[in-house]
Amino acid sequence: MKHQEVELLALGAGPSNLALAVALEELAPELATRTLIIEQHENVAWHRGMLLPWTQSQVSFLKDLVTLRNPQSRFSFVNHLHSVGRLTEFVNLGSFTPYRMEISNYLLWVAESLAQVRIEYGRRCVAVEPVLSGDGQVERWIARLADGSTIGCRTLVVGAGRDPHIPEVFETLPRERIIHSTEFSQKVAGLDHAAPHRVAVIGGAQSAAEMLWATHQGMPNAECTMIMRSIGLNGYESSKFTNELFYASFVDKFYESRPEARRQLLNEMHRTNYAGLSPGMLENLYRQIYLERLTGQERIRMITMAEISQARIEGDEIVLTLKDKKSGRHDELPCDVLLLGTGFDRRMPSLIRDLATKAGLGEIGVDRVYKLALPAGSSAACYLQGVNEDTHGIADSLLSTLANRAEEIVGDIQESQATAELLSPFALPVAS
């Protein structure tokens, strides 16, 4: 078994940790040389499971990994376009929102442009264990990888994203019969696209709609049914007033708010990201349904205000039992393919929960600079990225605050190291 030691270990080479890597190289180059990012996949990609060629980001290209922190950085999205010879074409497109593929290409370019921070691919972390002192303080971390190797560090940054949410009603189904949005592109590619599949899409937000549209367009003989609990599809709430709640400066206001105010803010902002569709997708779906009704060749159906009370395998098909919330009536829907646009588990990821339990934490809490609350006197540190909506606001899992958050984390690490050096007995003058 192979073991290595680093000062800072970051789990996941997604936007959060790439923004951190850029901030390290620009603000703390000496620490950057002692930093390692590990990524379970063989490359960097954004929204890997939903990286469809026609999908667009809902966020301005200026909210890249660095521009809102350092507009002069060589790691900006604009410099990426210039480097690959596509800046003029993007400017001519006249859009603030790049295609998802362009963002993914940008992230890969950043990863390949790093000069000091190392990234190792194909390395999946299965557990993180704290190294405890006799008093229960956390001194270091040991990350255990799927290949049996280990990595030790003093500072850990977790930016691997949330766990997919698989509703309990589907737990009895074989996992291979379920396709969550995070794995859509890979798993759908293995299906016979010419077969007359009966496809059920669960959910009423952007990911569910994109899977519905991609399946309908890519499988010309498929019948596609979208099932949702709401009364129908809605557009994103995207007014300029609402978007001010995605400013990095709003994080302070949210963090300092009372719990009931935080809950209200999160509930009211749900449609800005989780419960809405882009205008283009809404238009495409409505026009397609209209044309199919006009021609009498209907392949898209929407079932609204429905709860799935049961799901079972019967023969070779999946049978869903649907409860109509208006009438209370139960109906059965047989299908061949089940696509889940059900989002992510709102709890902390299982890896973090396990880490916290082993560290003896009664609950998981983070401070304003995203640092996990460890036992007093711990010399190790752990920062959590992208999983702090309850304390830092809805923008925490999005691109909007990446650049500023990375700066705050790097600044806190530098401050902690400076404090540790001052308190070190070696820093004290020797008595004569």
Where does 204-278 have alpha helices with state H? 206-218, 240-243, 250-256, 259-268, 270-273
CA distance 377 to 361: 14
Of 22, 11, 210, 8, residue with least CA distance to 107? 22
Of 318, 354, 332, residue with least CA distance to 170? 318
DSSP class of residue 431?
Answer: P
Q: Is the pLDDT of residue 430 over 60?
A: no
Q: Please, which pLDDT band fits residue 424 given cuts at 50, 70 and 90?
A: low
Q: Mean pLDDT throughout 141-161?
A: 97
Q: Is the pLDDT of residue 384 over 90?
A: yes
Angle of helix 15-27 relative to helix 100-113, nearest 10 degrees, comes to 40
**CA angle 231-235-236, nearest 5°?**
125
32-77 pLDDT, tens digit per residue, is 999 999 999 999 999 999 999 999 998 999 999 999 999 999 999 9
**The model scores a pTM over 0.85:** yes
Q: What percent of the chain has pLDDT over 90?
A: 88
Asked whether 44 and 17 are in contact (CB, 8 A), the reply is no
CA 311 to each of CA 42, 93, 225, 367: distance values in angstroms, whole numbers, following the listed order: 35, 45, 15, 41
Of 166, 209, 205, residue with least CA distance to 52? 209
CA distance 163 to 343: 9
Q: Residue 73, by phi and psi: left (phi above 0), alpha (psi -120 to 50) or beta?
A: beta
Asked whether 139 and 167 are in contact (CB, 8 A), the reply is no
pLDDT given for residue 158 in this prediction: 98
Go through the domains of the chain in sequence order and give each one's CATH number. 3-163+345-424 (3.50.50.60), 168-236+276-340 (3.50.50.60)
Q: Please, which pLDDT band fits residue 1 given cuts at 50, 70 and 90?
A: low
**Torsion angle of C-alpha atoms 390, 393, 397, 402, degrees rounded to 10:** -130
pLDDT given for residue 106 in this prediction: 98
280-314 pLDDT, tens digit per residue, is 999 999 999 999 999 999 999 999 999 999 999 99
* Helix (H/G/I), strand (E/B), else coil: 369: coil
229-281 pLDDT, tens digit per residue, is 999 999 888 888 888 889 999 999 999 999 999 999 998 887 777 778 999 99
pLDDT given for residue 420 in this prediction: 79
pLDDT given for residue 220 in this prediction: 96
CA distance 295 to 130: 63
pLDDT given for residue 421 in this prediction: 77
Angle of helix 402-423 relative to helix 15-27, nearest 10 degrees, comes to 50
Q: Please, which pLDDT band fits residue 422 given cuts at 50, 70 and 90?
A: confident
Where does 11-154 have alpha helices with state H? 15-27, 29-32, 77-83, 87-93, 100-113
* Helix (H/G/I), strand (E/B), else coil: 407: helix
CA 320 to the chain's CA centroid: 29
pLDDT given for residue 425 in this prediction: 58
Q: Is the pLDDT of residue 391 over 60?
A: yes
CA distance 90 to 193: 33
pLDDT given for residue 238 in this prediction: 81
* Helix (H/G/I), strand (E/B), else coil: 387: coil
E-strand spans in 315-380? 317-324, 330-335, 337-340
Q: Mean pLDDT throughout 308-329?
A: 96
Q: Is the pLDDT of residue 342 over 50?
A: yes
Angle of helix 206-218 relative to helix 279-295, nearest 10 degrees, comes to 40
CA distance 179 to 185: 9
